[in-house]
Structure formats: structure tokens, C-alpha cells
Chain A
Amino acid sequence: MVATLKSLDDLRKLREQVQGEITERFGGEVKIILGMGTCGIAAGAREVMTAILQELRSRNIQAAVTQTGCIGMCEREPLVDIIRPGEERITYGRVTPVDVKRLVAEHVVHGRVVEDLVVARFEE
């Protein structure tokens, strides 16, 4: 019980630290959408999401990470969509946690599409 109280106090301190920050968003956040239907989960989508959250955290990037259901391309799961503000929606397939560093470094940060993982692209 004492350990629990200590951790919630850590959260209160964190709140004070975070409140002082100014969040700058130049034209909007990057959107990252993961397929989380049964097919995606069975293929390893959760581990991909964990890797994405960790990579964003280590690079201090605030992106909007959300999920979607099955879109019908089950054999290409785990699927990850990356949409930079004002740019094409790119769908990556058969993504593994190992690919995440590259996807974030290349596409999220520099807007360079990682061609070998692409399965679909759409103009927004």
C-alpha cells in the first residue's frame, strides 16, 4: 500500500513537470494507425504498438497513435498506417518490431516512405 501511494505521488509530480511544457505542433500531429482486429493481434500487432510507443518516447515525439479493426488484408498484418499532416496515407504491411525504428526515423521524422514495406498508399 505504501509503495502504491508513492507511485501515485510520482504521478502528481509528473503532472507539475508536464504542465509547464509548451507543446509545439507545426501544422498538426503525425497519425499512426495500427490494425487491431483478431488477425492483427494474432500476427503480432501488440508488439509493434509497444515498439512504436517506445520509439516515439525515446525520440520525444508526440504522435496520435490509434487502432482500427480488420480492413480485409489479413495476410499482410500487422498493418501500420502513417499519415504526416498534409501528406499521403501510407499503409505498411507485415511490420515487425524490428522495422519500427526505421519507420519512425525515415517516415515519421523525415517524410521518407519506406518502400520495401509499403502495401498501399492513398491521397488524403
Chain B
Amino acid sequence: MEELSLHILDLAQNSISAGARCIGIEIEENLALDRFQMVIYDDGRGMSREFVARVLNPFTTTRTTRRVGLGLSLLEMAARQCNGGVEIDSEPGKGTRVRAVFMHSHWDRAPLGNIKSTIIAIISANPQLRLIYSHQVNERSFYLDTAEIITILGEEIPINHMAVLGWLEDYLSQGLAELYGGE
């Protein structure tokens, strides 16, 4: 994938397929430690220990249309190429947590890219999902919890109403500009 935010979108799709009602995306960029970390966790059906042990293998997949599932394999390869790796914790019936770490300054590290459009893509297609997005860049941080937005909107206005998505786009742009501003 050309952008790490596309891996995030891919992992979120896994969470949705696993029946998640809540997905968390935590990004931490620490230039002093030269570390880029992203964590995607969910409360979906989870995986058995046996499945987790082989899930990074591209021939291990829950897909029925093909015998190959590339998402996690691609992410693991990308992280390993940047002196990092992928760690997966999962418990059947509880959920899954995928952590990917990269050396921040590594020549081969793909940029995070358009995280805003990843967030909006997830929210617009899954209005019932609770999405928690937390992003830290050195000392600055940005936090979004769709539960708070839904509380403000009330029951009648869906979070993926056109006008709300327009507001959300501006809100994210502003938040990200402040996050990276002055770097």
C-alpha cells in the first residue's frame, strides 16, 4: 500500500467483518524515539490463539472468494522493512488488537497519507459504528470519538448525513493541521 492510512482502512474492514461495534485507531508519532506506531483495536469476534499464530501467513484467510488474504501480510512486511513489526492480540468473543511499529525516519516507510479520508470512509459507510481516533505527534494530540458527535446530533440525524460529513471533514482538517503545525 502506498500509504499507511490505507493499511488502517484495511484493518478497519477486518474489524467490521468481525462484527465490531467499536473500533479504535491510535497513532503515535515520536520523533525523539524515531518511532511511528499505529494500533487498531476492536470488540469484534476475535480469533483463536491457533488462528493468530498463523494469521500473518498470506494463505491464512477467512475469505471465501480467494485462498489468499494479503492485508496483514502486507502490513507485516511493510513494518519489518522499516525495522519494526506487527503484534496481534486477540481473544475469541472479546476482540482484536493489531499493533504495527515502524522506524519513523526509515527511507522505506510509506507516509501516513490521507488519514482524514480513511476516517471519513469508515464513518460514512458505518454510521452505527463507534469510532475512536486518537493521534499523537510528539507533544501534540488530537482525539475524536464518534459517540460524542452522535450525542450532540441526537437520534434523528445520522452521523453520515451529508452536512455532518462536511463538518467532520473540516473538523479533521483543522485538527490535523494543528497536530502537524509548526513541525
Interface residues of chain A, those whose CB is within 8 Å of chain B, are 3-4, 7-8, 10-12, 14-15, 17-19, 34, 36-39, 41-42, 46-47, 49-50, 53, 56-57, 60, 62, 65-67, 69-72, 74
Contact = CB atoms under 8 A, between A and B. Distances in A.
B66 A62 contact: no
B165 interface: yes
B160 A46 contact: no
Given A38-B69, A41-B6, 7 more contacts: A3-B178, A7-B171, A7-B174, A36-B125, A41-B1, A49-B125, A66-B125
B157 to A, nearest CB: 5
A84 B6 CA distance: 29
Given A60-B162, A66-B125, A67-B125, A72 B9 contact: no
Contacts of B175: 4
Given A14-B164, A41-B6, A67 B13 contact: yes
A49 B165 CA distance: 13
A74 B66 contact: yes
B120 A18 contact: no
Given A38-B74, A46-B121, A18 B1 contact: no
B57 interface: no
B77 interface: no
A44 to B, nearest CB: 9
Interface string B106-132: 000000001001101100111000000
Interface bin, chain B? 35 or more
A7 B163 CA distance: 14
A72 B65 contact: yes
B25 to A, nearest CB: 15
Contact of A15 (B13, B152, B160, B178): B152
Given A3-B174, A14-B167, A41 B10 contact: yes
Contacts of A37: 13, 63
B31 interface: no
Contacts of B69: 38
- Give the residue among B71, B153, B163 with the most A Cβ atoms within 10 A: B163
B138 interface: no
Interface in B160-182: 160-167, 170-171, 174-175, 178
A66 B178 CA distance: 31
- Give the residue among A8, A10, A37, A49 with the most B Cβ atoms within 10 A: A37
A18 B70 contact: no
Nearest to B63: A70
Contacts of B166: 57
B174 A69 contact: no
